Structure 1
């Protein structure tokens, strides 16, 4: 394996895994919009675990969401499950890379990184889709939100994870291309050439001529 590409893949995978851990507890997955509001007395922001509000004096009040089973119909339920799966898959991928670092397990490492990236991207994109759908719906009666910084951290995390997987693939490919071809070595038995065969046949014919 190319050690430079291998270290780069490990670094990208580690950064992606760390950024997942930063995005999950980030409180600003969505923030209430000021579009169309003349006077704004409070700001509401949410993440996967709680909803918070801050007033003009800087006082923050947070309320945790109910249990996972009580989040029926909310995007937080699916996004929460996918982000937890992303952390688990990223941990497995990093452990496999650190232990093995060889092409015989490269498919396992690359697969974990790609699956981590997919879980993160789907979770963040699904959450962002629901925010934009409510924002542009003129008939939506509730509070409208904008994309928060937690979503952008999640997108960066997914991008780093997929880049790490791609680097692992190229590292394995370069290692395969550099393997020398082993020359064919015949066994140490008697080697018969075409000239030897013709000489033996000629000798046989000569002996038959005297019979």
Structure 2
């Protein structure tokens, strides 16, 4: 799989996980209570969420009430409200970094900088998925233990809502998308030669990197015309009658 394909697939998975994270935080379906009385008309369904509670009657009417006080929530929902908001913020920042560092954008010019920003965005998406997974698992464990308890009244037993399953799916998408983005970095360049004892040519020490400047030449002080003319003429030697002697 090419680098661009990895980036696009990772970004799509992270985006789906981010949308699911927002839906999980918004809808009031963390716990669902179904109660059917002796008369079918008295049947009602109660939805417990992070921000509001809703009651739906068997006639189709639904009434919702916003949570006025956070202290009225259970401990798992109090922690879930804070952790889901933190996860959304971290996931949003990670999504922005993945689009900034992607090859489809022109925000950065250097390939090394793009890879670093992309990896950082993938790490933030992984962190957002882990933070979302904590309250979802905690709330599901609390709901199951409360449902199986013999001290809980039958009409107050709650089941897992749709937000729990959406949160699990969103965490999975964020984790897989972040892992794919972290593995899409370009191959690193070799810092050392393949063969021992041989080093790459680094070029001259002067001038910008990658350019070669020839050695400086100097102009000669005198112009050479190709013929040698002595400055002072010398007379030819004269010989004496005695052999081996000069006059």
Larger radius of gyration: 2
Deviation at 1:147, TM superposition (A): 0.8
Query: What is the deviation of 1:72?
Result: 6.2
| Aligned mate of 1:63, from 57, 62, 65 | 65
- After TM superposition, the score normalised by the length of structure 1 is 0.77
- Report what 2:5 is aligned to: 4
Match of 1:129 in 2: 141
The CA deviation at 1:163 is 0.3
Task: Decide whether the 8 Å contact of 2:34 with 2:44 is kept in 1.
Answer: no
Q: What's the counterpart of residue 176 of structure 1?
A: 187
- Quote the residue 1:197 is aligned against: none
Deviation at 1:140, TM superposition (A): 2.1
Structure-2 change in CA distance of 1:96 and 1:125 (3 Å): same
Following superposition, the deviation at residue 108 of structure 1 comes to: 1.7
C-alpha deviations, 1:113-162, integer Å up to 9, x for none? 11110111111111111111100001124711111111111111000000
- 1:98 matched to 2:99: yes
Within 5 A, what are the aligned runs for 1:1-211?
2-33=3-34, 41-68=43-70, 70-71=71-72, 73-101=74-102, 102-141=114-153, 143-172=156-185, 175-176=186-187, 179=189, 183=193, 184-186=199-201
Instruction: Kindly state the Cα deviation for residue 110 of structure 1 after the two structures are TM-superposed.
Output: 2.3
Listed as ranges, the gaps of 5+ residues in structure 2 are: 103-113, 194-198, 205-247
Q: Distance in 2 between matches of 1:71 and 1:147?
A: 20
Distance change >3 Å, CA 38–CA 131, structure 1 → 2 = farther
- How far has the Cα of 1:55 moved from its partner? 1.4
TM-score, normalization: structure 2?
0.67
Find runs of 4+ consecutive structure 1 residues off by over 6 angstroms.
none
For residues 62 and 188 of structure 1, what CA distance do their matches in structure 2 show? 74
Q: Which residue of 2 aligns with 1:205?
A: none
RMSD, aligned α-carbons = 2.5
Change (3 A) 1:48 1:188: closer
Aligned to 2:236: none
Q: Which has the higher helix share?
A: 1
SS of residue paired to 1:31: strand
The 1-side partners of 2:30 and 2:140 are apart by 9
Q: Deviation of residue 39 (structure 1)? A: 5.7
Q: How many residues align?
A: 184
Q: CA deviation at 1:20?
A: 0.9
